[in-house]
Amino acid sequence: MAVPMPSKRRSLVVQTSMDAYTPPDTSSGSEDEGSVQGDPQGTPTSSQGSINMEHWISQAIHGSTTSTTSSSSTQSGGSGAAHRLADVMAQTHIENHSAPPDVTTYTSEHSIQVERPQGSTGSRTAPKYGNAELMETGDGVPVSSRVSAKIQQLVNTLKRPKRPPLREFFVDDFEELLEVQQPDPNQPKPEGAQMLAMRGEQLGVVTNWPPSLEAALQRWGTISPKAPCLTTMDTNGKPLYILTYGKLWTRSMKVAYSILHKLGTKQEPMVRPGDRVALVFPNNDPAAFMAAFYGCLLAEVVPVPIEVPLTRKDAGSQQIGFLLGSCGVTVALTSDACHKGLPKSPTGEIPQFKGWPKLLWFVTESKHLSKPPRDWFPHIKDANNDTAYIEYKTCKDGSVLGVTVTRTALLTHCQALTQACGYTEAETIVNVLDFKKDVGLWHGILTSVMNMMHVISIPYSLMKVNPLSWIQKVCQYKAKVACVKSRDMHWALVAHRDQRYINLSSLRMLIVADGANPWSISSCDAFLNVFQSKGLRQEVICPCASSPEALTVAIRRPTDDSNQPPGRGVLSMHGLTYGVIRVDSEEKLSVLTVQDVGLVMPGAIMCSVKPDGVPQLCRTDEIGELCVCAVATGTSYYGLSGMTKNTFEHTSNKGK
């Protein structure tokens, strides 16, 4: 194995090369110091000692295999011998240029050997001195134990394997881990009183509220068929398609009839009531998605809205495919344009995407749908606990879960949003959000139909070209409500120019979907500072908090007092590190400013519990996990009973 060569610093062997030939201390007769035993005839005389000294120096010089630039310490008993040693070393300082010792040849099988004169015969075992072996010179003069110990240390170093065993890499800290870490006595601790469950306002009973969302569609489709339901925009900002409530009603009926009676055979239909069906629509075609979604509700089929797969081996779509497989999806509804854009095999068929189940793709355009017979009519009933739709959720690890929402929860959620936001019939709402899920779905597709509202859908392709497009549509249609994210407000500021036509006085609610994000407050403040002179009032900005499981958790409502600034808090980052809320001053850098995201939803009960250990109510100055008990929430993760019990059933018990 390869061993590192000596560095530019003198190695241990080089430094001690002359020490290895240290002359015997003639003044000491102690055997314990390594002196050689005398001649049987007696102790050597001083002249003999001088001759022996010169002979030893000669042997040391000729036998040395290294050159040194440092003076060696001599252990001589006479001053003359010391002078002669110095002279000889001075003469040989330049002459001796032999190569340094090859320390890589030392192994465990090789013992340290010193070159002997040719007249020397036989080898003797070096006597032991302490823990080190005494090496011998050419005349059998033992080397001092200090030098031999250093050489032995070098040998032991060379004997070590190049790669230490694993136990030297990984220190066993198991005993330290078992030790209970003592908390910092100076760390902040919660001191407030125990929190109580907060109850939202009572969900009002309105006489004209429909018994189900399908019943609302039927009402508006027959009473006000020409009322605009949805207007889609092209990339130039011009109206591309206007969907009326009459068209939505008739087209949804065609979708419901076709998927129930035109897929499969009459004896063995592919789709039955209660089955799950995938909805694959691009983000620029909300009208086709809306008709397919309500067609599934009329057919009592469970829609599963998903994203359009980009490639056959897209990693994100593989997780979506796993969700579709667990839901037992066999049919996918899509638009004509999306169907043409999907990858196809040489035969023109859509191949099976990696991780996806085998699907039958069905286009829901009018030319592909069958007109239902006169005697066929969808069975519209009151909302019940049957699953209305499944909304997918992407976890931090990339896995995808399906959150089931019942028909009762769907209707109750629309009613709660209507009461909290004060929606009325024929209001205009501008939606920039994704209409297939979350806030964009709840406001732009569901609650809007319940209240016969007109939705102006802004595709994100238009936002990329013109970030001010949603503001322009608010001014053009005099919209009362707009659903955006803080990023849309930010990019509107970046693209803003001093344009006189901007007038935001018609807005009564600017719903910020990611208002629970602490960083959205900067976008809200900056947007207000710029557009307040354009008619925007500060009480109009309404952040909200939501999740796929709890749906809308809270939303800020517009206040009647425009002079009262919206609530916010400046929290200490040091306190947040320990899960404690401490109010701090805004001048410091180590603070976090958060904004008020509103009140508990109508008809809901909310509490904050400790996230670790057994759920217990938090104190008023303690950070915890919000638990919501309401009808308008998700009910389960589809097909995952264990996770459902931990998230939904457990939460429901705590709320009660």
Of 361, 392, 423, the residue at which a domain comes to its end is: 423
CB 233 within 8 A of CB 240: yes
Per-residue pLDDT at 549: 96
- Say if residue 161 is in the same domain as residue 268: no
Candidate from 140-149, 468-477, 491-500 with smallest mean pLDDT: 140-149
Classify the C-alpha dihedral 615-621-623-627 as positive or negative: positive
Per-residue pLDDT at 316: 66
> How much of the chain, in percent, has pLDDT values that exceed 90?
51
**Rounded-to-integer distance, Cα 146 and Cα 25, Å:** 14
CB 404 within 8 A of CB 476: no
Which pLDDT band holds residue 25 (cuts at 50, 70, 90)? very low
Per-residue pLDDT at 186: 82
Residue type for position 257 = Y
Tell me the pLDDT tens digit for each residue of 579-588. 999 998 877 8
Of 377, 404, 423, the residue at which a domain comes to its end is: 423
Of 406, 423, 440, the residue at which a domain comes to its end is: 423
- Say if residue 263 is in the same domain as residue 401: yes
- Residue range 216-220: mean pLDDT, rounded: 98
Q: What end-to-end distance do the CA atoms of the chain give, in Å?
A: 70
> How much of the chain, in percent, has pLDDT values that exceed 70?
71
102 vs 275, more confident: 275
Query: Is 336 within the bounds of a domain?
Result: yes
Per-residue pLDDT at 489: 95
Angle between helices 245-261 and 286-298 (to 10 degrees): 60
Share the mean pLDDT of the chain: 80
Taking residue 549's Cβ as centre, other Cβ atoms within 10 Å add up to 20
- Residue range 556-574: mean pLDDT, rounded: 83
- Say if residue 356 is in the same domain as residue 227: yes
Query: Is 551 within the bounds of a domain?
Result: no
Strand partners, 472: none
* pLDDT score of 338 more than 70: yes
Query: Is 452 within the bounds of a domain?
Result: no
Query: Is 579 within the bounds of a domain?
Result: no
- What is the domain extent for residue 151? 12-35+44-117+124-169
* pLDDT score of 326 more than 50: yes
Tell me the pLDDT tens digit for each residue of 481-510. 999 999 999 999 988 876 778 999 999 999
Per-residue pLDDT at 655: 38
321 vs 296, more confident: 296
Element (H, E) at 574: helix 573-577
CB 580 within 8 A of CB 600: no
* pLDDT score of 454 more than 80: yes
Per-residue pLDDT at 346: 84
Per-residue pLDDT at 251: 97
- Say if residue 238 is in the same domain as residue 161: no
Which pLDDT band holds residue 614 (cuts at 50, 70, 90)? confident
pTM above 0.75, yes or no: no
- Say if residue 286 is in the same domain as residue 366: yes
- Say if residue 213 is in the same domain as residue 339: yes
Per-residue pLDDT at 203: 93
What's the total number of domains in the chain?
3
Tell me the pLDDT tens digit for each residue of 348-394. 888 888 889 999 999 998 888 889 999 999 999 999 999 999 999 99
**Rounded-to-integer distance, Cα 619 and Cα 196, Å:** 9
- Say if residue 25 is in the same domain as residue 111: yes
- Say if residue 76 is in the same domain as residue 218: no
Per-residue pLDDT at 175: 59
Query: Is 586 within the bounds of a domain?
Result: no
* pLDDT score of 123 more than 50: no
Closest C-alpha among 543, 534, 586 to residue 566: 543
CB 77 within 8 A of CB 47: no
Element (H, E) at 575: helix 573-577
- Say if residue 163 is in the same domain as residue 259: no
- Residue range 144-163: mean pLDDT, rounded: 67
**Rounded-to-integer distance, Cα 524 and Cα 520, Å:** 6
* pLDDT score of 177 more than 70: no
Tell me the pLDDT tens digit for each residue of 85-114. 445 444 544 444 444 444 444 444 444 443
- Say if residue 139 is in the same domain as residue 252: no
Helix, strand, coil in percent for the chain, rounding step 5: 35, 20, 50
Query: Is 82 within the bounds of a domain?
Result: yes
How far are the Cα atoms of 207, 410, 448 from residue 441, in angstroms, in the given order? Answer: 25, 11, 10
Query: Is 562 within the bounds of a domain?
Result: no
How far are the Cα atoms of 566, 582, 613, 646 from residue 623, in angstroms, in the given order? Answer: 22, 11, 14, 20
- Say if residue 163 is in the same domain as residue 26: yes
Tell me the pLDDT tens digit for each residue of 195-209. 999 999 999 877 789
Per-residue pLDDT at 354: 85
Query: Is 580 within the bounds of a domain?
Result: no
Per-residue pLDDT at 349: 84
* pLDDT score of 164 more than 90: no
Instruction: Outline where DSSP puts E strands in 395-520.
Output: 400-406, 428-431, 454-457, 481-484, 509-512
Q: Which tokens is 404 given? A: 């089931």
Under DSSP, is residue 337 helix (H, G, I), strand (E, B) or coil? helix
Which pLDDT band holds residue 422 (cuts at 50, 70, 90)? very high
- Say if residue 277 is in the same domain as residue 343: yes
Per-residue pLDDT at 590: 86
Tracing tokens 């667990």 back to the chain, one arrives at 326
Q: What is the CATH number of the domain that holds 405?
A: 3.40.50.12780
Tell me the pLDDT tens digit for each residue of 404-415. 999 999 999 999
* pLDDT score of 173 more than 70: no
CB 191 within 8 A of CB 424: no
